Amino acid sequence: KAGVTQTPRYLIKTRGQQVTLSCSPISGHRSVSWYQQTPGQGLQFLFEYFSETQRNKGNFPGRFSGRQFSNSRSEMNVSTLELGDSALYLCASSPGFANTGELFFGEGSRLTVL
Amino acid sequence: KQEVTQIPAALSVPEGENLVLNCSFTDSAIYNLQWFRQDPGKGLTSLLLIQSSQREQTSGRLNASLDKSSGRSTLYIAASQPGDSATYLCAVSSGGGADGLTFGKGTHLIIQP
């Protein structure tokens, strides 16, 4: 069974640009959550999507957005990039709601903003 | 607001030793607690999930316990091996999931050959 797949794995952007990251969950999983990991703040919750609906959102500015498609694949978008957005962005999938079961993470997308 | 603390932040032990990693959380109203492992530059690998109604879970050389009333969990690693070297993260799910999982900062573990 294939795991959680995130693309791209690495990317470099400049300030002011926007970026779109993609996540394909484990087959059959309906929940996709996104996290930002930085050395200073650790892992922070961005948002969770379940059956194409945003279920929860963390404390991030509106520049961070996401969506989920009917096949459960998810994308997150960051607009007007800032230096502080440099981080490892991790996606996790679960069969049901993320807070009730086991989460399975992808390898992450490492974003560097110059 | 839930807060998760992991002690120690770093640990280095010789191969073969048994060791305990600690995790504490401030709000006992949790759905579950999950332990993860993260290798440098990689994603998270799920090790053990303990539901709030459970006291412990075991997988191979790993045993995790949960004391919800005191807000504590421990991860016990038996007969440590160099391949166990990684950062171990504890995460709790609480409050209806509104804040997602709340993670600790992790314990960086080095097993010396």
Burial class of residue B97 in the structure, from the number of CB atoms within 10 Å of its CB (0-12 exposed, 13-18 middle, 19+ buried): buried
Residue B109 binned pLDDT confidence (cut-offs 50, 70, 90): very high
Mean pLDDT, residues A5-18? 98
Are A89 and A112 in contact by the 8 Å Cβ rule? The answer is: no
pLDDT value at position B24? Answer: 98
Render pLDDT for B51-107 as a digit per residue (tens, 0 to 9): 999 999 999 999 999 999 999 999 999 999 999 999 999 999 986 656 789 999 999
Q: Which of A88, A16, A25 is nearest to B103 (CA)?
A: A88
pLDDT value at position A70? Answer: 95
Render pLDDT for B26-47 as a digit per residue (tens, 0 to 9): 999 999 999 999 999 899 999 9
Quick check: A98 and B100 CB within 8 A? yes
Whether residue A95 lies within 8 A of chain B, CB to CB, comes out as no
Percent over 70 (pLDDT), chain A: 99
Quick check: A90 and B106 CB within 8 A? no
pLDDT value at position A96? Answer: 86
Interface test with B, best of A29, A34, A36, A103 (most B CBs within 10 A): A103
Whether residue B71 lies within 8 A of chain A, CB to CB, comes out as no
Residue A97 binned pLDDT confidence (cut-offs 50, 70, 90): confident
For residue A58, the chain B residue with the least C-alpha distance is B99
Residue A98 binned pLDDT confidence (cut-offs 50, 70, 90): confident
Whole-number Å distance between alpha carbons of A49 and A105? 15
Render pLDDT for A60-91 as a digit per residue (tens, 0 to 9): 999 999 999 999 999 999 999 999 999 999 99
Mean pLDDT, residues A103-111? 96
Whole-number Å distance between alpha carbons of A54 and A33? 10
ω into A95 cis (within 30 of 0): no
